[in-house]
Structure 1
């Protein structure tokens, strides 16, 4: 299920609307919110999503636990997380400031990649891959970002790398700017969606045998 979650930015909340029930506010103001998740989530509905984001969470989630005043957007519309349940509401996503986010591809073992947005911070990348990050540089100003200790942790093989080797565990594909990462272009997204679709079957024995492999470039 594709979910987007928005939470009120405390710096833009002079009226202290955060955590208020739906009946206590006049209307939802999208300019007060920031996006904390845009991802595929293994839930079947809003109530399951509430439980998930108050327990295990998600690697691409960069906010607090789900609570009253959060907005959840699904293919069925936008919903206000209320004191009890969810209320459908109007929410213009185009008014949300997303200047802190970059567009990436998220690649999980045995799944097709998908486009996501995350903050361009070390913490967000580490959370996404579940460990200290390591870069595999491509020749087109993009890079794979993975967990440098994935194989030592016993994570399953994800994809074969060009030139040999296996990358294990979840990884990101990001664009590279002059100093920081950047959003992938439409052409780069199409290229790597095609390249990494149809996940290969990588045995645990193959991944274990590749433990000695080290990425050429990392930070």
Structure 2
């Protein structure tokens, strides 16, 4: 699995269902998928997978995408891939199914008095709410 030219990934964009992609396993291509410098995190110790996101997504104001367990929110596009040693590699069928199910539904992030609350939704609901938020922001200006 190591040194694959193209790797099978699960690509997740805000407001959309995850999708299978095959990406060139090279820095520039992978950075383009997340829109900048990459950060690899390994939140699932039982599985040889990495979550690759934009290193400064929140600071840059990228749209919030998915909650990561109970401790973080990923901003902007991200993807899940396998890793072997220090190399990224393709997801297995089992890994792909597991993480596609985990991130299947888009999430809206609603401000509350105790912090941000994630709410699962459909892509159509996400699009409609984002349009409403953008219209309200334009009216405030």
Query: Using CA pairs below 8 Å that are at least 6 residues apart, which structure has the higher relative contact order?
Result: 2
The structure with the largest strand share of the pair is 2
Between the aligned partners of 1:180 and 1:163, the Cα distance in structure 2 is: 28
TM-score by length of 2: 0.72
Measured after TM superposition, the shift of residue 179 of structure 1 is 2.6
Corresponding residue SS for 2:50: strand
Which entry has the higher C-alpha Rg, 1 or 2?
A: 1
**Runs of 4+ off more than 6 Å:** none
Aligned match of 1:106: 11
- Inter-partner Cα distance in structure 2 for 1:127 and 1:181: 16
1:148-206 deviation per Cα after TM superposition (whole angstroms, max 9, x unaligned):
11111111100001241100000010101123101000000000110001111114x58
1:196 to 82, 100, 103: 103
RMSD of aligned residue pairs (Cα, Å)? 1.7
Are 2:26 and 1:121 aligned? yes
1:184 aligns with 2:91: yes
Secondary structure at the counterpart of residue 201 of structure 1? strand
Runs of at least 5 residues in structure 1 that lack an aligned partner in the other structure: 1-98, 211-219
Tell me which protein shows more helix as a share of its residues: 2
> SS of the counterpart of 1:149?
coil
User: Who is 1:131 aligned against?
Assistant: 36
CA distance in 1, matches of 2:107, 2:61: 18
Distance in 2 between residues matched to 1:195 and 1:179, nearest whole Å: 25
1:138-177 equivalent positions in 2, closer than 5 A: 138-139=44-45, 140-177=47-84
Question: What is the CA–CA distance in structure 1 between the aligned matches of 2:55 and 2:5, rounded to whole Å?
Answer: 25
5 Å-filtered alignment, 1:1-219, equals 100-137=5-42, 138-139=44-45, 140-203=47-110
Structure 2: which 5+ runs fail to align?
117-141
Instruction: Give the TM-score taking structure 1 as reference length.
Output: 0.47
